[in-house]
Structure 1
Amino acid sequence: MAREGIYVDGKKIIARYVGDKKVWEREREKLVLTWNYLKRWSLSNNVINNYTAELVDSWETSVPVGTIDQELTRISIGDRSWKAKMFALVIEDGNGTKKRIISRIRFNNFTDVYSFVRFTGLQSAGEIKMFKEND
């Protein structure tokens, strides 16, 4: 069973020091998903005023039609990072054996979503790391 946290006198310990040197710190975020993309992301036209970027593709997959959501605190590509609220994977019926796959990332503000879309336009393939706050 995983430890829920370290407590002393009812208070959660988030860092440990020896003298004035920090020797341990509780991670505030954890990596929950890594997503490789091969195309440029774009501003979503389907989700008005939600600060959402999306990537639409078609794949042959046995994954059932539906939506998978994951709450986030931020995403990163290489050394760039943006605050984000949610990652969603929407799987819809497509043509023939292929299904329509829509990846969406909802950001906290327009500046972040626009910066992300612009960055992925300059670097159209990469790996996105998605983080959420530790419990």
Structure 2
Amino acid sequence: MRKLAEQSGQAASDIGELVQLIQEETRKAVETMQKGKESVLAGKEVVDQAGEAFMEISSSISSISGQSHSISEAMERMNEIMKELVESAEEITRISNDSHEYTQHVAAATEEQTAAIEEISASAESLSKLAEHLQSQIQKFKL
């Protein structure tokens, strides 16, 4: 009986040690789970922050896309204006060339008229001298 009591005592002692070991391992498991929970919460916070960052990036991309579209429309309008300016400049050049050509014709006509007037003036002067000469010849006959 003593032996049975010793064995029972030893078994109780072994069971007590096993219970303490199980409790220690359970405590470690709880601590590990708590650390895991904290890591998961920290990871969730990082993921949430990353999600917010992606939302900001997406918003910025949308904004940039809108600005790019506005710039594209402005560039198209500027291109249209530039085409109109080129057409206007070509029209001005055409008008200027026409004016230059007309001015040359006027200048040539003016030169011709000036030459004709000079010729008429010379003829008039010659007629005047001839008339004076005739006058002086007629005076000789009257005397």
TM-score under structure 1 length normalisation: 0.14
Which one has the largest radius of gyration? 2
Calculate the TM-score normalised by the size of structure 2. 0.14
**Which is richer in helix?**
2
The structure, 1 or 2, with the larger RCO (C-alpha pairs under 8 Å, 6+ apart) is 1
